[in-house]
């Protein structure tokens, strides 16, 4: 069985299921209720990263509830 992942409600970064705070922004507002997944490798050249206000490479949820 795959480990659940938690999305940050603040920056949408995907974190390990046992995280207490977001690895990207430090927020403790994490949720299992998210949809869509995008991997951003070069945020400085990505239109999606610009739309999502993403500055760091990594996996991000497209929709977080």
Residues contributing to the annotated binding site for Zn(2+): 8, 11, 22, 25
Binding-site residue positions: 8, 11, 22, 25
- How are beta strands 5-8 and 58-64 bridged, if at all? unpaired
- The rounded Cα 59 to chain-centroid distance in angstroms is 5
6 in Cβ contact with 37 (< 8 Å): no
């Amino acid at each position: 069985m795959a480990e659940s992942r938690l999305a940050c409600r603040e920056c949408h970064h995907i974190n390990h299921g046992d995280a207490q705070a977001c690895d990207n922004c430090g927020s403790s507002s994490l949720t299992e209720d998210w949809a869509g997944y995008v991997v951003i490798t070069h945020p400085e050249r990505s239109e999606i990263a610009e739309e999502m206000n993403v500055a760091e490479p990594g996996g991000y949820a497209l929709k977080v509830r």
